[in-house]
Amino acid sequence: MNASQRLDATFAALADPTRRAILARLATGNASVLELAKPFDMSQPAISKHLKVLERAGLISRGRDAQRRPSRLEARPLAEATSWLADYRIFWERSFQNLDALLEELKTQQKKQRRAGRNRRSQ
């Protein structure tokens, strides 16, 4: 996978609320399928399916222990995804803030010109 495909896989994986909740749970520590299934009121096969999507996206890794196969959160793809999100939003937020400042400057200029125009006319 290249960077863009990896990002696609990350976002597709994050689009589901259950998978986001699983990540939030794993942020507090590694957990087995059984431990993850409990709070979600879901079958183990359903949880396993979500874990496969998360694993393919590189968001988690699974332990070798054949019985428990504990899931572990992988921080790097999450960090890549969030920095990308932040970039896009920040681009527009900062640009519009710059525009606010520019508009204030133009309004001040316009007022000065109007005042100068009035002074000329009254002379």
Partner 1 sequence: MNPKNTFKITSSGDREVVMTREFNAPRKMVFETLTRPEYVKRWLLGPEGWTMPICEIDLRVGGAYRYVWRHSAKGTEMGLHGVFREIVPPERIVHTEQFDQPWYPGEALVTYVLVERGGHTTLTCTILYDSRETRDTVLKSGMERGVAVSYDRLDGILAEIAAK
State the residues that interact with partner 1 by CB under 8 A.
4, 7-8, 11-12, 14-15, 17, 20, 23-24, 27-28, 73, 75, 78-79, 81-82, 84-104, 106-107, 110
Other beta carbons less than 10 A from residue 67's beta carbon: 8
For partner 1, which is the closer residue by CB, 44 or 98? 98
Q: How far is the CB of 11 from partner 1 (least distance, A)?
A: 4
Q: How far is the CB of 118 from partner 1 (least distance, A)?
A: 19
> Residue 62 — φ and ψ, nearest 5°?
-115, 140
For partner 1, which is the closer residue by CB, 65 or 100? 100
For partner 1, which is the closer residue by CB, 8 or 39? 8
Q: How far is the CB of 5 from partner 1 (least distance, A)?
A: 11
- Which tokens belong to 60? 């988690």
For partner 1, which is the closer residue by CB, 43 or 90? 90
- Which tokens belong to 64? 């070798």
